Amino acid sequence: MTQFSALQRSATELFPQETTDREAASARRSLQTPGSIRFFDYRPTPADVRAEVLEGLGLPAKRLSPKLFYDQRGSQLFDAITELPEYYPTRTEIGILREYGSQMADLLGRDNVLIELGSGSSLKIQTLLAALQPSVYMPVDISKEHLLESAHALAERFPDLSIRAACADYSAPFKLPLEPDWTDLAAFFPGSSIGNFDPEEARRLLGRVAGLLGAGGRLLIGVDLPKDPAILNAAYDDAQGITAAFNLNLLTRINRELDGHFDPNAFRHRAFFNIERSRVEMHLVSRIEQQVEVAGERFDFRAGETIHTENSYKYGIDTFHRLAGAAGFVAEKVWTDEQGLFSVHCLRVGEERSGS
């Protein structure tokens, strides 16, 4: 298991050069919280983000990672998406967690260190906290401001909960603020975020989680199921245009953070279910032939050319079990809703993962 010593730094040390007043104020608020929250910043550097964006826009089929959606505005837009009538995953997964929470706690174990990957607003975990009673809750998210705000809201609601929030990118090997004597770890990975990775990347990420948990460790993971394409197309292209705004916000973020010159009005949102690959794809489609400068580099777009911004793979239960098995997990139990829209799996790290 990877272990890291705790970092205790002041707000200014946490947010060096690129600190804004708002960030610093937010960080100070976090450090003022009495006792229950500690914050650890392992987020990618601006140089990493720049390199990734320039590489993705330079590909013959332009592509950007969905993790780039989540600046503060992107996180707020995602929260708005979860409340849309068309967006069934959030309410369905919460329904499953509410109904089977005590069974889940029996399997996951109580009083352990509970790591949540891509915790966002930390809403779903609230349905499980009473049953799980973790000794420490560790929300992990790439969206720093949103993570801090969510951790605060949680601490106000659950003042006895010990929270260690970590801003980190789980799409590559990542650090967590674990103590050497914390051996009883469990993980929660809701929202079908695993579906944002191509299957081989998903296997690698699950393998990293298995290595982190160690043999016998449990992962509770939400996975969206294949279904009628009409339901999927509506869920990712809602009538109010919130998902479109979420997708287009990526261009605004690039303009702000990377000296980009995108005109968001010159692009449109497109989402569709790719049946052969069992995934919803989201793209930004260039409405016109245009050239766009980002960080001093020029990119050409044909009319109709797209930037592929997200995949959301849908896995049947057996297919997901095979994927998890290839990553070192043994499937213990799966719960679904009555309509068969969504699944939540409890996976255990197999013995052969010991020491990895």
Q: Which stretch binds ligand SAM (CB under 6 A): 12-20, 115-123, 210-218, 289-297?
A: 115-123
CB 117 within 8 A of CB 187: yes
- Answer for which of 36, 82, 92, 112 binds ligand SAM (CB under 6 A) is 82
Binding of residue 142 to ligand SAM (CB under 6 A): yes
- Which one among 177, 191, 199, 211 touches ligand SAM, defined by CB under 6 A? 191
Report 203-262 residues binding ligand SAM (CB under 6 A).
none
SS3 38: strand
Quick check: 43 and 142 in contact, CB under 8 A? yes
Closest CB 107 distance from ligand SAM, rounded Å: 20
How many amino acids of this chain bind ligand SAM (CB under 6 A)? 19
Least separation in angstroms between CB 44 and ligand SAM: 9
Separation between Cα atoms, residue 53 and residue 127, nearest integer Å: 36
Q: Quick one: which of 52, 86, 99, 169 contacts ligand SAM (CB under 6 A)?
A: 169
Question: At its nearest, how many Å lie between ligand SAM and the CB of residue 37?
Answer: 17
For position 40 contacting ligand SAM by CB under 6 A, the verdict is no
Classify residue 111 as left (phi > 0), alpha (psi -120 to 50) or beta: left
Contacts for 331-334: CB closer than 8 Å, 24+ residues apart: 332/107, 332/218, 333/103, 333/107
Give whichever of 57 and 165 is closer to ligand SAM, judged by the CB atom: 165
According to CB under 6 A, which one of 100, 137, 170, 301 is a site residue for ligand SAM?
170
For ligand SAM, the closer of residues 194 and 292 by Cβ is 194
Q: Is 134 in the site for ligand SAM (CB under 6 A)?
A: no
Task: Find out whether 75 and 82 touch, Cβ atoms under 8 Å.
Answer: no
Q: Are strands 113-117 and 136-141 parallel, antiparallel or unpaired?
A: parallel
Contact 206, 194 (CB under 8 A): yes
∠ Cα 98 230 124 (to 5°): 20
Q: Which stretch binds ligand SAM (CB under 6 A): 4-12, 168-176, 289-297, 344-352?
A: 168-176
Q: Among residues 169 and 297, whose Cβ is nearest to ligand SAM?
A: 169
- In the complex with ligand SAM, the residue whose CB is nearer, 137 or 301, is 137
Query: Looking at beta carbons only, is 75 or 311 nearer to ligand SAM?
Result: 75
Tokens matching residue 114: 């509970």
Asked whether position 52 contacts ligand SAM by CB under 6 A, the answer is no
Query: Residue 67 or 348: which CB sits closer to ligand SAM?
Result: 67
Distance CA 161, CA 172 (A): 29
Find how far residue 93's CA is from the centre of its chain.
15
Give the residue, chosen from 141, 224, 237, 310, that forms a contact with ligand SAM under the rule CB under 6 A. 141
| Minimum gap (Å) between residue 121 Cβ and ligand SAM | 7
When asked if residue 87 is in the footprint of ligand SAM (CB under 6 A), the reply is no
Q: Is 190 in the site for ligand SAM (CB under 6 A)?
A: yes
Q: From the list 90, 92, 249, 306, which residue makes contact with ligand SAM (rule: CB under 6 A)?
A: 90
Stretch (H or E) spanning 331: strand 329-336
State how far Cα 310 lies from the chain centre.
Answer: 12
Instruction: Report the alpha-carbon distance of residue 149 to residue 283 in Å, rounded.
Output: 29
Note whether 127 binds ligand SAM by CB under 6 A: no
The DSSP output letter for 152 is: H
Region from 11-19, 137-145, 151-159, 175-183 binding ligand SAM, contact rule CB under 6 A: 137-145
**Minimum CB distance to ligand SAM, residue 288 (Å):** 30
Task: Kindly state the DSSP code that residue 70 receives in the 8-state scheme.
Answer: -
Beta bridge partners of 166: 40, 140
Q: What type of residue sits at position 18?
A: E
The distance in angstroms from the start CA to the end CA of the chain is: 7
Residues that bind ligand SAM (CB under 6 A): 67, 70, 75, 78, 82, 90, 118-120, 124, 141-143, 169-171, 190-191, 193
